[in-house]
Structures are given as structure tokens and as C-alpha cells.
Amino acid sequence: MCVKTEVDGPKLIVKNTFICVDGVQELSPVSKQRVRAKTADVATSLADYALDAEEETSEGDSSSSRDFTFEEEESCRLIQCIVKNTFICVEEEASSPVNQQRARAKTAYAATSWESDLSEGDDKSTLGLVIEDAECCQRAQHAIESGASDRQAIVADLHGRVREAARLPHAHKVLEAVMRHTTGVEAAFIASELLGHGRDALLDVFTSSVICRLLEHSPADWGTVLLVDELLTGDVATLCCHKCGHDVATAIVLNGIPRQAAQVVFALHSNPQRFARHRFASKVVEAALRAVSVDGSDVLARELIAQPGTVVSLACHNFGVHVVRALLESPRYSKQVLHFLFKTLKRLSKDKYGRELMRELGLAPVMAMN
């Protein structure tokens, strides 16, 4: 229940008000139940609501009672009403209530759309997209994903703020929503605003995620191509071994234009065995082995199985075993890899990663006999 009065000055709204009845021995059982009250003469200003010191007594004191009307038929027989659990909201509040005990606030006229939020004023830092605020970003993301009419206003509000938004945990999701649910032309500003900052400045966990989404949705866009070229400047192998950069390198192999994908794969040729065992680079190696159409992926596979014992060594490594799984998916090299594994069943049976791989291949009974 909410009772609202239209008067000048700060207004009070009594919400969720329940009453307890005192001295109701004559009432029927129905009337003794807890009933919801309706405010008859609610205080319409802070001054009316203020209580003197002697009035602020216990909840059961009749001096704190207010006049109420009731929906119950026997309300005329009530002797005394005590207001309990009453919370108030102050509209156009100029100052805090005199009695500042526990109070719960609620916005009376919350904005119901992005446009109504912007109509309050022109200050983007307070009334537009507040990229530091999680709730604001979630609301903006939902508006973009649902195709709301105010989607264009949100996209316009992101212009000039991409670099800052890409580094924040909630704002970067708004950028990703723009890429997924708008046209390439509308989202082109994201890549262009990330240009010129240098590779090291873009390899944080949230910005790298934005770049991966760019590669998924617009890899051939001129802005994305220029941005990826900037990331590939310098030592590409270092990018593959980076905590966040390896995700970008993997996205380049899987989604980038052929020239850029091949540049990453050929960087792995310098030391394929090391990269296949690396915590992060091994994921790039996996992607390169599965992307058979990329130049250099076939050469990389041959280098990994060229020396005797390399396959079983990888199969007994916590990261290398994932590379072996990728080799087993290769139409050209899967039989050869499987042959190497059969020859070393005894060694594989002594290693937990090797045993797990053999179970996946259905070779556990053969291992038991050996």
C-alpha cells in the first residue's frame, strides 16, 4: 500500500504500514488478525511529521498513534491503534527527517527507459551511461540486447569513452553487446578508439575480451585489421605466452584474416615443443592444429611429431596432453599419433594424464593386460 499526498514542499509516503490493536477483547477472531492500514491524514511535510522528545517513546505509547481507516467491518470498535513497521519515503527532500531512526528510501519516479534518464539533463557523467556503475551498465546491456528504442542513445553515449569502458568489468560487456547486436558500421568506432595505445596497454583481462569479440564479429573491418596489426607488432611469441594475450592470439588464429592468422602460427615454429607445454601458449598451439586451413598449421603438426618420444612426452604433460588431443583430431596425422601412443602404453599407464587420455580412447583394458 502506498499513500501519496500532493502538497507543496517535501512530501512523505507511508508504505507497508501494519497496525496492532490494543484492548480488543470484544473483537471477533477475524478482527484480531494483523490488518493493513490506510493512512487517513498522512503528514505532508517534514515539520508535521517531526515528534517532540517526549513523544518518542516506545511503540506501544498512544502518543505515537495516528488516525487510520480500516477495511474491517468492526473497525468502529477499536480502542487504540499502534503503528508498527512503518517506513517512509521523502520526495523532493530538502533535509533529513527529524526522527532519523531506521528508514528505507525508494525512488518515487524512477526512470523507466534510457531516454527518460537522458532527458533530465545533458551531463553524461551523472545522467547518461555511468560506466563505473554495474547496475547502469547492466541496464544498458539489456537495452542493446533487447533492441530497445533507446539503443542508439546508448551507443552514442559510448563514443569517445571506449578505451576507458573496455577496462571496466561491467562496461566492457556493454561494448561486446554493441558488437553482437548492431551492424558493423555502428560498432566500427570501438576498434578505431582502441587504436594507437600500444600492445601492452591493451592486454588487460577485459580489453582483451573486447578485442576477441571484435575478431569474432568483424575480423575484416579496417579498424579491426589495423588494431590486430598493432598487436602483432614485435615478438608474436611473447603475445602467445601472455596471460591475456594468448586469448587474443587464439582468436586471431581462429577468426583473423589469413595473413594475420599465419603470422601467429609461424611464430610458434620457433620452439613448438616448448609452446606445446606452456600454460598459455599451448592453447594457441591447439587452435593452430585445429585450424587446418591456416598456412603453417600443417608444418607445426609435423614438427610436433617429428622426433621419437615427443608425442608420449606431451601426453604425459598437464598442458601438452591437450595438444595431443588436437593432433588426434587431425585427419592427416591422427593414425600416426595413435601408433606412437600404442607403442608407449606402459609409460602412459604410469602417468595420470596418460592414463586419462587412454581411457578416453578406450584403451584402458589393453593397458591392464600390459
Q: What percent of the chain has pLDDT over 90?
A: 56
d(CA 21, CA 34): 8
- Distance separating alpha carbons of residues 210 and 248, to the nearest angstrom: 9
Distance in angstroms (rounded) separating the CA atoms of residues 361 and 359: 5
Looking at the domain assignment, is residue 361 inside a domain?
Answer: yes
> Starting from the edge strand earliest in sequence, which strands make up the sheet with 35-36, in order?
35-36, 18-22, 80-84
61 and 170 co-located in one domain:
no
Residue 362: pLDDT band by 50, 70, 90 thresholds? confident
Which DSSP symbol is given to 193? H
Please say which residue of 36, 62, 91 terminates a domain.
91
On whether both 70 and 141 belong to a single domain, the answer is no
pLDDT at 351 over 90: yes
Residue of 97 and 231 predicted with greater confidence: 231
Q: Alpha helix (H) ranges present in 30-170?
A: 46-49, 114-118, 124-127, 134-145, 151-158, 162-166
Do 256 and 128 reside in the same domain of the chain? no
With b for 16 or more beta-carbon neighbours within 10 A and e for fewer, the 140-152 pattern comes to bbebbeeebebbe
Domain range holding 201? 111-231
In this structure, the answer to whether residues 147 and 226 fall within a common structural domain is yes
Q: Is residue 247 part of a domain?
A: yes
User: Looking at 124-133, 135-144, 246-255, which range is the least confident one?
Assistant: 124-133
The arithmetic mean of pLDDT across residues 52-69, rounded, is 44
pLDDT in tens, 203-243: 999 999 999 999 999 999 999 999 999 999 989 999 999 99
Give the rounded percent of residues in the chain with a pLDDT score beyond 70.
64
| The predicted structure's pLDDT at residue 150 | 87
Q: Are 144 and 114 in contact (CB under 8 A)?
A: no
Lowest mean pLDDT among 40-44, 62-66, 150-154, 172-176: 62-66
Residues 362 and 249 in one domain: yes
Which pLDDT score, from 0 to 100, does residue 276 have? Answer: 97
Asked if 129 contacts 140 with a C-beta cutoff of 8 angstroms, the reply is: yes
* pTM value > 0.95: no
Q: How far apart are the first and last CA of the chain?
A: 77
User: When comparing pLDDT for 60 and 289, which is higher?
Assistant: 289
The number of distinct structural domains making up the chain is 3
| Of 37-41, 118-122, 321-325, minimum mean pLDDT range | 118-122
* pLDDT, mean over the chain: 77
6: three-class secondary structure by DSSP: coil
Output the pLDDT for position 157.
Answer: 94
Would the pLDDT of 254 be above 60?
Answer: yes
CA within 13 Å, CB half, 49: 23
**Which has the closest alpha carbon to 280: 232, 319, 316?**
319
